[in-house]
């Protein structure tokens, strides 16, 4: 039987992504993993495509396609890594920075909706529990579980 907690978390995340796609991503020409590339690059300027792949557990082809499309939209600049010429370093352009703000605002609005009626203490406890679950998941993936 499926764990109801994990099912709820997955359902909430699907609803968040569905709303984000409908209201923000599709109207701006974003498909696939493009928003994840923007989010990661905004927080880690100069990150490699491999960094994005590893952080979100995505496949390399999807990230490469998304990065090329973002570059075409003028939201991302890719620079070949001078040390490892097979790698590209990612940087947001002004258009990418604007899109990052739009995506983050949509996330904040969803969080406000989601946390209505939840005390700050309960929200903090949930955050701590989710952080622990994420750490456990990372250990499992690394083989330390």
Rg, the chain, Cα only? 17
Q: Where is pLDDT greater, at 95 or 1?
A: 95
Taking CA atoms, 14 is separated from 51, 53, 136, in Å, by 24, 20, 22
pLDDT of residue 17: 84
Q: What's the whole-model pTM score?
A: 0.81
> What does the domain layout of the chain look like in residue ranges?
4-114, 118-145
At 2, the pLDDT band (50, 70, 90 cuts) reads low
pLDDT, mean of residues 5-14: 81
pLDDT digits (tens, 9 = 90+) for 52-91: 999 998 999 999 999 999 999 999 999 998 888 888 899 9
Determine the CATH number of domain 4-114: 1.10.10.10
- pLDDT > 70 fraction of the chain, expressed in percent and rounded: 94
Torsion over CA: 17, 10, 126, 136 (sign): negative
Residue 141 reports pLDDT greater than 90: no
Distance CA 137, CA 139 (A): 5
Distance CA 52, CA 46 (A): 11
- Measuring CA to CA, which residue among 63, 10, 2, 5 is closest to residue 32? 63
Task: Provide the total of helices (H) and of strands (E) in the chain, helices listed first.
Answer: 6, 2
State the chain's mean pLDDT as an integer. 89
């Amino acid at each position: 039987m499926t764990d109801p907690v994990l099912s709820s978390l997955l359902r909430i995340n699907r609803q968040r992504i569905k709303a984000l796609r409908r209201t923000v991503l599709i109207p701006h020409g974003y498909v696939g993993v493009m928003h994840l590339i923007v989010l990661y690059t905004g927080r880690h300027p100069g990150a490699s495509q491999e960094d994005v792949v590893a952080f979100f557990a995505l496949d390399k082809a999807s990230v490469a396609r998304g990065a090329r499309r973002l570059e075409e939209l003028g939201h991302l600049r890719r620079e070949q890594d001078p040390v490892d010429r097979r790698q590209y370093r990612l940087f947001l352009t002004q258009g990418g920075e604007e899109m990052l703000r739009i995506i983050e605002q949509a996330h904040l609005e969803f969080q406000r909706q989601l946390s209505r009626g939840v005390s700050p203490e309960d929200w903090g406890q949930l955050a701590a529990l989710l952080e622990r679950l994420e750490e456990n998941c990372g250990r499992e993936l690394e083989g330390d579980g």
